[in-house]
A and B are shown apart, each in its own frame.
Chain A
Amino acid sequence: MLDISELKTVETDVVVVGAGGAGLRAAIESSAQGMKTVVLSKSLLGKAHTVMAEGGMAASMGNTDKRDNWKVHFRDTMRGGKFLNVWRMAELHAKQAPARVKELEEWGAVFDRTKEGLISQRNFGGHRYPRLAHVGDRTGLELIRTLQDHGVHQGIDFLMECTALRLLKDGERIAGVLAYYRETGRFVLLKARAVVLATGGGGKAWRVTSNSWEYTGDGVYLAYEAGAELMDLEFTQFHPTGMVWPLSVRGILVTEGVRGDGGILLNKDGKRFMFDYVPPRFAPETADSVDEATRWLNGDKNARRPPELLTRDVVARSIRAEVKAGRGSPHGGAFLDIASRRPPDFIKRRLPGMYHQFKELAEVDITKEPMEVGPTLHYFMGGIRVDADTQMTRVPGLFACGECGAGMHGANRLGGNSLSDLIVFGRLAGKCAAEYARSLGASPQADAEQVTLAIRGATDILNRESGENPYLLHEKLQDVMEDGVGIVREEEDLKKGIVGIEELNERAKNMKAHGTSQYNPGWHEALSMRSMLVTAEAVARAALIRQESRGAHTRVDYEGERDEWVKYNIVSRKGADGHMEVEKVLRPPPVKYLEDIANSKIEDLEAGKVGADAPND
């Protein structure tokens, strides 16, 4: 019998699960508020998926174009999100991003500069003005290194290669986390007053993805099991430009910065096809000729933006349509050409990572040849449902921020809004978790039974005589998601996908990991499968219910946006019978000034005819 008094135990105020941009920012804030803070990092510190972010972080500082401000950023975000964003979150994000970016400078970040010596800002899809603070095409690395190097001096405890397995509760409230160290395979009990989830997305359930192995939906799973609600999971963003060849690198991200810096998309006939796919909502603000797009590239402020810079959902679907029509590139994608648009030294300076990546992994010189690209599962807009102003879930003491949280991005995220999301909502979650932890009386206590059950659930995988190979189950799940819950969906496929997930759920109960618990990736894979299966099921079920096409969710059997559907979020939770409950939930109406700004004509907004009554803080 397991005696939990023998477990290694850590007592703290706040535990942050995840050490990417959101988790580190949350921990820094929680610690700054005087709370004892522990960060669980599934990998080594500084390796989180945030390092993969390339293009930049969006903040309306107006350094490159003075016409920019939070209202335009907010409007772009809502339009990009197809008006399904939580209004208040999009507002907080647009207002606070500039201060959060400048704060990074204080902590050592070295962004690319304008001629005036300010933080340079680049163009990106869906952003009306050059808005992305960036460092070449390695902005995510700069963010994580800055937060890491600042964070290690703030008295935060970092537990590296330590994976959360279960959230513990005292009645309704959060009481801590059970985790395990990879290095030794030992369990650790973290007693805490508040927990912040910052675990990222769940793209590893798909085969073609830009996500790293860590992206297994852990936060979604932990929150779901603890009684929190999930929201908007049908919105999985397929980034339009992932590498397609060679097969072993299929899915690896090619930054939108390539298009922001002038790159164009061509089909196998050399046609610049994006002009054929401009949605009516964006037509008034998009160039309608190659000539106008070229003038824009050359800095003509009266020219409209090229169609390659439409939002990601639009560009991804367009590439897929070209491939389907038989006009794709040799390996089933489109050509992304910057070589004919910019001189080699410009490309190497602005996109050094892309130059390096193609040269080393595909033997393609992007200063001379076009790249071959295609859609890749990139980002979860949906996730854990939180209160906009506190980032708390419906479980008292449980917070979520960054990609594992829901609401900020609605049906489709704009490029560059993710890194700024991490620092804005990471800080907010850390602040509110600290305030919550301080406000509690006696520390909540989890009973021993929760802990022993969680430990047994993990060790059974090692102890059974034989069983399913977790790696092969993972591959099977990737087939199911790729076939049933891909970039374009329909009822029959989704239903088959759900059946496939249910079958895998059964088989996963009998997973077997060979070897001991010490640094055992097979065991870890089996534990991650539990997260991926819950996440995959939530995506598939939500996708089945939403009978329309909006943003990143495309239903061939329900084409186009349906007005009645913008009134609803799809919310899921664990039912009393242990099964997943999914339902449509009516959204609260927006405050008037936000609705006015989001729906305004850009000319009216910029002339101050709209939104003048909006508070600026």
Chain B
Amino acid sequence: MSTTRKFKIWRGDSEGGDFKDYDVEVDPGMVVLDVLHRVQSRQANDLAIRWNCKAGKCGSCSMEINGRPRLSCMTRMNSFGPDETITVQPLKTFPVIKDLVTDVSWNYRQNKRIRPLKPKPRGADGEHRMYQEDVDRVQEFRKCIECYLCQDTCHVLRDRDGQDRFVGPRFMIRLASLEMHPLDDDDRIPEIRKEFGSGMCNITKCCTEVCPEHINITDNGIIPLKERVVDRYFDPIVFMGQKLFGISKRR
């Protein structure tokens, strides 16, 4: 049975914009992206949406739905109350291009700053030997679909002047995937601390909460990197002090 649902969709561009109301017919099983497509084909042909796979694998259709960073292709309509109005707007952390599409090129620039894998030489038999238990953690980080929801929700990046000092959770786990890669023969700790700003993260774990791939960004990625930085740069006494201070401050 289809029902008519109320949507508020942000329409506009870098100059500004506003929410517009749409009444849309919704069929069972639909996700928010289906509804947006229906608006696009029937009511607003030029509604700008970025999307690709519609299966939660490419990370293109990120937006804020009722204030939460979500993939619209994985947000089912039956997760809302029957009379709830659904508000859809672009990611706040990045500049708007048009409607629901933002300019995420900043992320691509950060990625390019990260040096690629520097592989150790192959064994005498011409093989790289790595064991599953040694790559499990790296594989967890490599599940990332670059939807940038974590970047969107990160307090440091959302306050845009933080974008000069911190690469954000997405690239912290990319750095972690290299730092923990069994084949990587590079020292990345100095730049993780200085250039990429590991100290900027204050571990509120918002990034982990919004990750559609359920990657433990903070616990498995960022905290171990911070620990490696601390091990390298701070002597045990200072280290203990900081740790205690840090913990007490967090509590």
Whether A108 touches B135, Cβ cut-off 8 Å, given contacts A361-B31, A471-B40, is no
Known A-B contacts A49-B52, A106-B119, A113-B131; the reply to A469 vs B41 at CB < 8 A is: yes
How many positions in chain B have a CB within 8 Å of any CB in the partner chain?
A: 61
Q: Which residues of the other chain, B, contact A142 by a CB distance below 8 angstroms? A: 142
Check if B129 is an interface residue, CB within 8 A of chain A: yes
Which B residue's beta carbon lies closest to that of A50? Answer: B58
In the complex the two chains form, is A248's CB within 8 Å of B55's CB?
A: no
Neighbour of B135 across the interface among A110, A248, A518, CB < 8 A:
A110
Asked if A515 and B116 make an inter-chain contact with CB atoms under 8 angstroms apart, the answer reads: no
Our pick among B31, B112, B130 for the contact of A152 (Cβ within 8 Å) is B112
State A249–B50 Cα separation when bound (angstroms). 18
CB neighbours (8 Å) of A525 from chain B are 45
Contact A44 B60 (CB under 8 A): yes
The answer, yes or no, to whether A521 is at the interface (CB within 8 Å) is yes
Q: When each residue 8-28 of chain B gets 1 if its CB lies under 8 Å from chain A and 0 otherwise, what string results?
A: 000001000000000000011
Q: For the complex, is B210 an interface residue (Cβ under 8 Å from A)?
A: no
| Given known A357-B55, A471-B41, contact A44–B98 (CB-CB < 8 A) | no
Contact, CB under 8 Å: B138 / A356: no
Give A515 to B235 CA distance when docked, in angstroms.
62
Which chain A positions have C-beta within 8 A of B116?
107-108, 149-150, 153
> Which residues of chain A are near B132, meaning CB under 8 Å?
112-113
State the Cβ distance, B36 to closest chain A Cβ, in Å.
10
Of A73-81, A84-92, A133-141, which stretch is located at the interface?
A: A133-141
Given A212-B58, A248-B29, CB of A51 within 8 Å of CB of B53 = yes
For window 59-113 of B, CB contacts with A under 8 Å fall at 59-60, 74, 76, 97-99, 101, 103-105, 108, 111-112
In angstroms, how far is the closest chain B Cβ from the Cβ of A96? Answer: 16
| B108-136 to A contact mask, C-beta < 8 Å, 1/0 | 10011011110100000001111110010
Q: How far is the CA of A263 from the CA of B51 in the complex (A)?
A: 31
- Chain A residue at smallest Cβ distance from B141: A110
Contact yes or no, A515 B45, CB < 8 A: yes
Q: In the complex, which residues of chain B have a beta carbon less than 8 angstroms from the beta carbon of A118? A: 127, 129
Q: Shortest CB–CB separation between residue B29 and chain A, in angstroms?
A: 2
Residue of A with least CB distance to B60:
A47
**Chain A 455-474 per-residue mask, 1 if CB under 8 angstroms from chain B, else 0:** 00000000000000111100
Contact with B along A44-55 (1 / 0, CB 8 A): 111111011000
B171-189 vs A, Cβ < 8 Å mask (1 yes, 0 no): 0000001100101000000
Most B CB contacts (10 A, CB to CB) among A45, A47, A149, A246 go to A47
Query: Contacts A51-B145, A245-B29 given: A522-B135 contact, CB under 8 Å?
Result: no
Contact B98 A246 (CB under 8 A): no
Whether B209 is near chain A, meaning CB under 8 Å from some CB there, is no
Which of A108, A142, A183 gathers most chain B CB within 10 Å? A108
- Asked whether B57 lies within 8 Å of A522 as measured between CB atoms, the reply is no
Closest CB in chain B relative to A305 CB, distance in Å: 25
Task: Report the minimum CB–CB distance from A114 to chain B (whole Å).
Answer: 8
Q: Are B45 and A469 in contact (CB under 8 A)?
A: yes
A356 to B56, CA, bound (A): 9
**Taking A51-B57, A51-B145, A521-B49 as contacts, is the C-beta distance between A248 and B97 under 8 angstroms?**
no
CA distance A415 to B198 in the complex (A): 42
Cα A357 to Cα B193 in complex, Å, equals 37
- Closest B residue to A151 by beta carbon equals B116
Q: Is B46 an interface residue (CB 8 A)?
A: yes
A145 at the interface (CB under 8 A from B): yes
A153–B98 contact, CB under 8 A? no
What separation, in Å, do the CA atoms of A519 and B129 have in the docked complex? 47
A246 CA to B142 CA in the complex, in Å? 29
Interface residues of A in 280-326 (CB under 8 A from B): none
The complex places the Cα of A145 from the Cα of B57 at a distance, in Å, of: 12
- Interface residue A514 (Cβ < 8 Å from any Cβ of B): yes
**What's the nearest-Cβ distance from chain A to residue B51, in Å?**
7
Given contacts A117-B131, A520-B46, A521-B47, contact A108 B117 (CB under 8 A): yes
Question: Is A253 close to B, CB under 8 A?
Answer: yes
Assuming the contacts A106-B119, A141-B145, A252-B54, asked whether A472 and B41 have C-beta atoms less than 8 A apart, the reply is yes
Partner of B52, one of A212, A469, A475: A212
For A253, the chain B residues whose CB sits under 8 A away are 55
Residues of A within 8 A of B108 (CB): 44-45, 152, 160
Task: Write the nearest CB–CB distance from A21 to chain B, whole angstroms.
Answer: 14
Q: Does A576 have its Cβ within 8 Å of any Cβ on chain B?
A: no
The yes or no answer to A332 lying at the interface (CB within 8 A) is no
A213 within 8 A of B: yes
Q: Using Cβ atoms and an 8 Å threshold, which residues of chain A touch B112? A: 152-153
Q: Which residues of A contact B28 (CB under 8 A)?
A: 246-247
Taking the complex as formed, is B206 at the interface, i.e. its CB lies under 8 A from any CB of chain A?
A: no
A418 to chain B, nearest CB (A): 16
Whether A361 lies near B74 (C-beta < 8 A) is: yes
Q: Which residues of B contact A145 (CB under 8 A)?
A: 142, 144
A252 touches B55 (CB 8 A): yes
B48 near A519 with CB under 8 A, answer yes
**From B48, which residue of chain A is reached at the shortest CB distance?**
A519
Q: Which A residues touch B40, using CB under 8 A?
A: 471, 521-522
B42 → A minimal CB distance (Å): 8
Please indicate the chain A residues that have their CB under 8 angstroms from the CB of B47 in the complex: 521
**Cβ-based interface call for B143 (8 A):** yes
> Taking CB as reference atom, which chain B residue is nearest A161?
B50
Contacts of A46 in B (CB 8 A): 58, 146
CB distance from B216 to the nearest CB of A (A): 14
* Residues in A whose Cβ lies below 8 Å from that of B119: 105-106, 108
Determine whether the beta carbon of A113 is less than 8 Å from that of B27: no
A214 in the interface (beta carbon within 8 A):
yes
Q: CB distance A248 to B31 under 8 Å? A: yes
Binary B-proximity of A117-151 (CB < 8 A = 1, otherwise 0): 11000000000000000011010111001000110
- Contact between chains at A47 and B45 (CB < 8 Å): no
Q: How far is the CB of A298 from chain B (nearest CB, A)?
A: 21
Closest to A252 in B: B55
A152 to B112, CA, bound (A): 6
B4 within 8 A of A: no
- The residue that A519 contacts in the complex, of B58, B98, B128, B146, with Cβ under 8 A, is B98
Residue A360 CB within 8 A of the other chain: yes
Which among A105, A152, A514 is the interface contact of B46 at CB below 8 angstroms?
A514
**A149-B111, A246-B28 given as contacts; is B57 within 8 A of A138 (CB)?**
yes
Q: List 13 A-B contacts (CB under 8 A).
A: A46-B58, A47-B59, A51-B53, A107-B117, A118-B129, A135-B142, A138-B143, A152-B108, A245-B29, A246-B28, A246-B29, A361-B74, A518-B98
Contacts from A to B (Cβ < 8 Å): 43-49, 51-52, 105-108, 110, 112-113, 116-118, 135-136, 138, 140-142, 145, 149-150, 152-153, 160, 183, 212-214, 245-249, 252-253, 353, 356-357, 360-362, 469-472, 475, 513-516, 518-523, 525
The 8 closest A-B pairs by CB, nearest first: A246-B29, A515-B46, A522-B45, A117-B129, A471-B41, A108-B117, A519-B98, A519-B48
New contact pairs (5) apart from A47-B53, A110-B130, CB-CB < 8 Å: A105-B128, A246-B29, A519-B48, A519-B101, A522-B40
**B contacts, CB < 8 Å to A:** 13, 27-31, 34, 40-42, 45-60, 74, 76, 97-99, 101, 103-105, 108, 111-112, 114-117, 119, 127-132, 135, 138-139, 142-146, 177-178, 181, 183
